[in-house]
Structure 1
Amino acid sequence: MFKLLLLFAVFWTDPNNPENTAVHIRINQLGYLTEDSKIAVVFSDKPIRESFQLLDHNTGEVIGEFKSQRLKKDNWGGFEYSEVDFSQVQKSGSYYLKGKRSEATSTIFRIGDDAYGNHQETLLEFMRQQRCGYNPTLDMVCHEKDGRSFFGPMPDSTFVDLSGGWHDAGDQLKYLITSSYATAHMLMTYEMYPDRFEDKVNALGQPWPNGIPDILDEAKWGLDWIHKMHPAPDQLFHQVADDRDHRGFKIPNQDNSDYGWGENQYRAAYFATGKPQGLRQYQSEATGVANLAGRSAAAMALAARIWEKDLNDPLFAAKCKKAAISLYNLGREKEGFQQGNSYGAPYRYNEETWADDMEWAAAELYKLTGENDYLDQAKKYALMSNTEDSWTVRDSAAHYQLYPFINMGHYSLHEIVDEDFKKVLEGYYLDGIKYTLQRAEKNPFHIGVPFIWCSNNLLTSLVTQVILYEKMSGDKSFSPFLSAQRDWLFGRNPWGTSMFTGIPENGEYPIEVHTSLFVLLGLEVPGGLVDGPVYTSIYNNLIGLTLLKEDKFAAFQNEHVVYHDDVGDYSTNEPTMDGTAGAILMMTHFSKK
């Protein structure tokens, strides 16, 4: 990557080295679609009083000259901020911005309807890296002995086959909380954009095609694991392993964690009882299982339709339909939420919502079966899961308290209800968009999310919510807001970095990520969405954060938010499985048709 950057040195100055230029330009490094809002943020220690030229990268021709407009916002880091709006440029090409007086230059970026290429496939590459069982990135098999049960109807320590699934993040735990959402999200994305996916790998993720779009191969990896986690109509497991996993960086098939049977042996498997759990002092606050059962049922109902209609596999479709119905019934019997379990640490997934998941499941089951009871129940759950259940109308929330970070059930239900109820569902999305817009108007980057842990997950979910709202209502008035949220993820932020590993290929993106494969093997796997910036106050109070290298972004950290491309910062620079999966709809939407 660094050799390629040297080739571009004649055209641009390193945006992350304040000694090179007094003016810093932040743009979407990946680029802009033809009709997008295209606004760069520029900042300096002093007010900016110059125009900026847009130049063609290939010819050096000046395409246009644009005045900078001062922003009267919170001056993060003490900088003075301005905007440069070049939305009128719609000609396809590669460009860069240059200060007419300061000669500060941006990185090179693309304008055109091919700007986003097929990067949804890049995200799937990262998902394959997270596979447990057979891992195609490493060509190895891990955790074959998952796991031994706790809290279930069988005696504690009974072996149950829960091999497979995905590792959650840089660690090697497995959660139904996140895996159910990742699976359902991918399946809904495929249904919305069935013509935008490639077939380059087989079911195991090995590099030859099998006649099935790769997104469905990846979703089936999740479906197969959910089937294992639901071994009987009245049984559901929710987690494999716990924070005893956190024993430093390790290769998956050399796991040094010990759950009582020795290192790299059996791991704890937690049964979903719907009641508080915990093997030591840190107890969950579970009240039911409907969040997990509902999301899993939605995934199974989506799969039943896709494998029947698109893949001509009636046997697997029937298996998924049966599981969807039994999972939904289990959620009906035990309404409430199941949270994640911890062992010796205070951190866990604190999900407290469930009606949104049951709404999604009921809507998908109605589409699958045509039974009116499901439609009636979906509408009831939708009214229960109103705007107040969303992080979008709050200024803070506990870790994964309001998960998933978007209610995709509203979109699923929208197409099958009457016009009056459509307006209700649109209103729920709209309330969240308006609230986040008010927050965005206070900061120079026009970002609408609170910077709690995993802020990038909130951001991709907000982008997705605006996309789905546009599809439901036809209202395109929030398109500039949508572009600003997306552009932050690709470099229009204080640090000038993408939040996805390896995207764009020649840009600034996370490298020193908090994963074993990077630390121990030096692997840079593209497509992973890192957790993202957090409030400085949160960063300063988390346990075990130690930067291992000099902070290359030190000049751009500020009193509001921090981000570090450093292995030692698990709070901002750890790529996650569900965060990456949750960005696939967004990436597909902007991709080349």
Structure 2
Amino acid sequence: MTASCTSKTKPADSTLPTNAGAGETGLSSAAGNGTANSEELSENILVNQVGYKIDDKKIAIIKGFDKKFKVIETATGKAVLSKDTTGKVNDESSGDTVSYADFSELKTVGSYYISVEGLGKSYDFKIGDGNLFSKVNEAMVKALYYQRCGMALDSKYAGEYAHASCHTGRARLYGNEETEIDVSGGWHDAGDYGRYVVPAAVTAADLMLAYEFYPQSFENKYNIPESTNNIPDILDEVKYGLTWMLKMQDKQTGGVYHKVTSRNFPDLTAMPDTDVDELLVMPVSTTATADFAAVTAMASRIFKDFDPSFSQQCRIASLKAWNWLETNKDFVQYKNPQDVTSGEYGDSSGKDEKAWAAAELLRATGDKKYNDYFKANYGTEGFGLGWQNVSGFAAISYLFSDQSAIDSKKAEEIKKAWLEKADMFVSTAEKDGYLLAMHKMEYTWGSNMNVANHAIHLLIADKLSNNEKYTETAANCVHYFLGRNTMNQSYITGYGSKKVMQPHHRPSVGDGVAEPVPGLLVGGPDSALEDDVSRSKLSGKAPAQCYIDDMNSYSSNEVATYWNSAAIFVFSFMSSR
């Protein structure tokens, strides 16, 4: 299994003409207004378009080689810093030659831009405290509320993105058409309306880990229906997703159905409440059952003090799923039938999923049998944190378990390998022109998930072995997301000056609102060019440049809950300090 492979198998959706009215260039005119400087905006001066924390490293990246730069105060047009650039780095992933404008010594709160004589100016950015990133983080969590299925999104909470309830009818069990099941709820997985257990488990796990490691980042309320129940809103969102997953467990056997979708993707303009195609529950799979066992065991621990009844319900369901895994030792693979073309989320092995389940059940119960299974079946290759390889989640669970319950030699072996991979990420970032822990081969479908998951790995490494190099390299991933990249593009809807305006996301296309649903992380550059728009517009581009803000480019501009959740973990770190 390949951690960097994140695409769902899916055909092209019905195409629409580009919506120029949503912003032909995506450029903000605000960058040049209200200042005493009339310089032209340059696409070659790249900054985090939201900003930088006061005491953090602050670096802008300049395409080409320029020897001097200035930091200009936006309000006055006055230069507050003038320095030489450093470096002349040839970046393999983008094909760019870049230099660095390091203005870390500037610690005055305010709004600024970078100026390079003869080249122009950057977008504005702020210098401030952790609130710069907490607002983005909150928006990314709230975006999961907008992805909720099975309930009306009331304007009290959803504002102009409100819509009526959707997908509330009973679904037919595929292959057993007489059986209908209530599987309402959960999240719309991506730009479509399918609900899939495997990626939903990853989404929930990311969110619970973010809360577990950085609880101080989730003290605010996000204006969701559960905001008054004295449970952190991020955990309310997790509970909404898991309540649906509990419905996907077969009550007799404990096995978990793989997904519920219609046979085909609806039209790109379809709003959730207008999608009335027949819903089908697809058969039980090993991966869905093992991921379910893992994430419900995790929830039994996380919710113990907040919602004891739900905690116990999750514990019972997890044990029942594990019993199914013990009874069905042969791998039960899921593949789409010929008449179903919605996302497959298939896999060729369930080894990593079962190891994750064992690790989480060990941490939740302390039962020695799970430790025995884990030791016998877990290797240290990969440490994946995506839906196709969950071995990294297994490692995190084992390493942070009660030390009296685990094998110290096994834990030390895992820790050593984890830190070695973290060091590799640091080394990769040091050689990369954009200071990013990404190899050129990793710009695949959902490359932004790869960026976020590398950052998660680094942040866990910092928890295991306090090292500023790890946190600095993780922070560079956030700068990348918010515009410090070869595209000069913020990849998060609603944030940055050049922000995504046309995500492949049906509610954003069909709701008639000019701005897309905010807080959604798009997939990012995909060098395989896996849709018609990418193939026609991006052929011959370097891997990191294989992105286009076009609603029909599902391989570069779709969204997914498990991309958001990975980024939420990283942003929660940035807003916690």
| Same structural fold, with TM-score higher than 0.5 when normalized by the shorter chain | yes
Match of 1:258 in 2: none
Gaps in structure 2 of 5+ consecutive residues: 1-22
Match in the other structure for 1:341? 336
Following superposition, the deviation at residue 564 of structure 1 comes to: 0.8
Instruction: Deviation per CA, 1:483-540: give whole Å up to 9, x if none.
Output: 3222111111111111111124xx22111111222222234211111011111xx11x
In structure 2, relative to structure 1, the CA distance for the partners of 1:418 and 1:544 (3 Å cut) is same
In structure 2, the partner of 1:472 is 464
Q: Deviation string for 1:87-118 (max 9, x for gaps)? A: 33344443321114544334223243433134
Q: For residue 398 of structure 2, what is the aligned residue in structure 1?
A: 413
Per the alignment, residue 211 of structure 1 pairs with: 230
Asked if 2 retains the 8 angstrom alpha-carbon contact of 1:337 and 1:352, the reply is: no
* Aligned pair partner of 1:494 in 486, 501, 512: 486
Q: Verify: 1:24 aligned to 2:41, yes or no.
A: no
Question: Does the 8 A contact of 2:531 with 2:554 survive in 1?
Answer: no
**Structure 1 residue 329: deviation in Å?**
2.6
User: CA separation of 1:13/1:270 partners in 2, compared to 1, >3 Å: closer, same or farther?
Assistant: farther
1:269 maps onto 2:281 in alignment? yes
Corresponding residue number in structure 1 for 2:80: 63
Indicate the residue corresponding to 2:165 in structure 1: 141
Q: Name the structure 2 match of 1:371.
A: 367
Q: Which structure 1 segments of 5+ residues have no match?
A: 256-263, 275-288, 392-399
**Map of 2:244 onto structure 1:** 225
The alpha carbon displacement at 1:165 in A equals 1.1
| Aligned counterparts of 1:209 and 1:192: Cα–Cα separation in 2 | 23
Greater relative contact order (Cα 8 A, min sep 6): structure 1 or 2?
2
1:424 to 410, 413, 422: 413
- How many percent identity over aligned positions? 25
Q: Is the 8 A contact 1:13 1:106 kept in 2?
A: no
Question: TM-score, structure 1 length as denominator?
Answer: 0.81
Q: For the Cα contact (< 8 Å) 2:173–2:180, is it kept in 1? A: yes
SS in 2 for 1:458: helix
Q: Aligned letter for 1:234?
A: G
- 1:358 aligned residue: 354
* Letter of the structure 1 residue corresponding to residue 62 of structure 2: V
Mapping 1:49-128, distance limit 5 Å = 49-74=66-91, 79-100=96-117, 102-128=119-145
Q: 3-state DSSP class of the match of 1:563?
A: coil
- Residue 449 of structure 2 aligns to a residue in which SS? helix
Query: In the TM superposition, what whole-angstrom CA distance separates every residue of 1:183-219 from its partner, at most 9, and x where no partner exists?
Result: 22212222223333246467xx338633222111111
Answer yes or no: is the 8 Å Cα contact 1:145–1:265 preserved in 2.
no
Aligned to 1:179: 200
How many residue pairs are counted as aligned between the two chains? 534
SS of equivalent to 2:141: helix
Structure 1 residues 194 and 113: alpha-carbon distance in aligned structure 2, compared to 1, 3 A threshold: closer
* 1:418–1:164 CA distance, 2 compared to 1 (3 A): same
Distance 2:476 2:428 in 1: 13
One-letter code of the match for 1:445? Y
Q: Could you say which residue in structure 1 is the equivalent of 2:6?
A: none
CA contact 2:263–2:280 (8 Å) conserved in 1 = no
Verify: 1:527 aligned to 2:519, yes or no.
yes
Partner Cα distance (2:107, 2:361) in 1: 43
Partner amino acid for 1:163? S
- Report what 2:60 is aligned to: 40
Identify which range, 91-100 or 73-82, moves more after superposition: 73-82
Structure-2 residue corresponding to 1:278: none
Letter in 1 for 2:63: F
Contact kept? 2:268, 2:509, Cα under 8 Å: no
Native 8 Å contact 1:337 1:351 kept in 2: no
> Given that residues 52 and 68 in structure 1 are in contact (C-alpha distance below 8 angstroms), is that contact kept between their aligned partners in structure 2?
yes
2:20 equivalent in structure 1: none
CA distance in 2, matches of 1:4, 1:452: 28
Q: Which residue of 1 aligns with 2:505?
A: 515
| Corresponding residue for residue 293 of structure 1 | 289
**Is the CA contact 2:191–2:505 (under 8 Å) kept in the aligned structure 1?**
yes
CA–CA distance in 2 between the matches of 1:160 and 1:141?
A: 18
Q: Name the TM-score, length of structure 2 as normaliser.
A: 0.83
How far off its partner does 1:251 sit? 1.2
Contact 1:175–1:340 under 8 Å retained in 2 = no
- Equivalents in 2 of 1:199, 1:359: separation in Å? 35
CA distance in 1, matches of 2:191, 2:73: 40
497 and 12 in structure 1: CA distance in 2 versus 1, 3 angstrom threshold: farther
In structure 2, how many angstroms separate the alpha carbons of the residues matched to 1:557 and 1:224?
A: 43
Equivalent of residue 564 in structure 1, options 512, 537, 548 = 548
Shift of 1:348: 3.3
2:222–2:233: 8 Å Cα contact kept in structure 1?
yes
SS of match in other structure, 2:121: coil
SS in 2 for 1:186: helix
1:212, 1:377 → 2: CA distance?
34
Q: Tell me, in whole angstroms, the C-alpha distance in 2 between the residues paired with 1:316 and 1:520.
A: 36
Distance 1:196 1:546, change over 3 A: closer
Q: Residue type matched to 1:380 in 2?
A: A
Deviation for aligned residue 1:544? 4.2
- Deviation string, structure 1 residues 130-188 (Cα, Å, up to 9, x no partner): 1110042434111122411125xxx3441111111111111111100111111222122
Q: Residues 422 and 56 (structure 1 numbering): CA distance in 2 closer, same or farther, change over 3 Å?
A: farther
CA distance in 2 between counterparts of 1:161 and 1:23 reads 51
